[in-house]
Amino acid sequence: MPVLDKTTKTQGRMQYHIRCKPGDVGKYVLLPGDPARVERIAQHLENPVRVAYHREFLTYTGSYKGITVSATSTGIGCPSAAIAVEELANIGAEAFIRVGSTGGLQEFLQIGDLVISEGAMKCEGTSVFHVPDTFPAVPDLGLTYCLIKAADMLKAGRGFRYYTGITASSSSFYGETQEFIRKLNALKVLSIEMEASAIFTVARQRGLKGAMISAVSGNMITGDVIYEGENPGLVKGWEDEIAVALEAIYLHEQGGFLR
C-alpha cells in the first residue's frame, strides 16, 4: 500500500508551515527562536525584506557583504526547529546557524557570554524520529570553525567572552530539575537550550550544515538569572552573536576551513 512521503510531496514548492517558496531564502539561514530576534537580525542585513510570517515562523531575507542571508524564527523547542530546517531545506537552504539564548551550566559563565556548541546532548524526543538515540548530534565542523574564527576576530573590539564545548538540548524548560542540572554540571556540559540537537540532526541527515552560537541568558548553577524585566547583558549577547554568525558566513563563503 503506498503511503505519503512528506519530503517528496513538499520539495521545491510553497512550504506548509513557514509559508516560503524557492527563491525566498538564501543558502545561509540564521535560526533564532523568537520572531522578535529575526527583526533584530534584519537590522544587520542590507536591503532586508520580510518574506513571510506564519505561526511562529517569521522570515526575512537580505544580504551581508554581498551574500544572501535569511533569518527564520523557529519558536520554542526541537519539534518546531526541525520543521523549520526541513522546510527551509526543501526550498534551497544549505547551512543553518542557530543564534539563540542558553542557560549556563558552569559557574564561570556570565550573562552575555557566548557559547559555540561542539555537540549537543539529546535531552529531547524529536531527534529519535530521525536517528537512533545513540547517534550523536554534532554540528558541521567547517561552519563551527568559522564561528570560532569570527568570534576570535570580533571579541576584542566588541568586548565579549566566548567558550566552546558540549551543550545540551532539553524538551522541557520547567522539567529541568535541580538533579538534572547538577548532573549536566558534573558532566562538564557548558549550557542548555532547546533546539540545537534537532537542528544538527536534521541538517546532518539531509547532507546539509548546522551550527550553533548562543548568548548566556543566566546561570543555572549560581542562580544569576533574570526572569522579569530587562536583561541588558543578554541583549548585548544577542547583538554579539549575530555579528559573529554573519562574519562566520562570510568566512565560510570565502573558503573557511572545510566545505
**pLDDT tens-digit map of 102-111:** 999 999 999 9
pTM of the model: 0.96
CATH number of the domain bearing residue 171: 3.40.50.1580
Cα–Cα dist 12/25, whole Å: 12
Q: Phi/psi at 32 (nearest 5 deg)?
A: -80, 165
Q: What is the largest CA-CA distance in the chain?
A: 61
Q: Is residue 52 part of a domain?
A: yes
Residue showing cell 541588558: 232
Q: What residue numbers bound the domain in which 134 lies?
A: 16-254
Asked whether residue 192 is assigned to any structural domain, the reply reads yes
Average pLDDT of span 211-230 = 96
With 50 as the cut, is the pLDDT of residue 203 above it?
yes
CB count in 10 Å sphere of residue 39 = 16
Residue 105, exposed/middle/buried by CB under 10 A (0-12, 13-18, 19+)? Answer: buried
In a domain, 5, yes or no: no
| 1 domain residue, yes or no | no
Residue from 248, 238, 244, 213 nearest 112 by CA = 238
Cell of 204: 546532518
Number of domains in the chain: 1
- Residue pLDDT, tens place only, 152-168: 999 999 999 999 999 99
Inside any domain, residue 4: no
The confidence band for 257, taking pLDDT boundaries of 50, 70 and 90, is low
- Alpha-carbon gap, residue 205 to 243, rounded angstroms: 28
Residue 62 in grid coordinates: 537580505
Q: Report the pLDDT averaged over residues 137-150.
A: 97
Residue 207 counted as domain residue = yes
- Is the residue at 6 inside a domain? no
3 state DSSP class of 69: strand
Residue 3 maps to a domain = no
> In the predicted model, is pLDDT for residue 259 greater than 50?
no
The DSSP code for 152 is: H
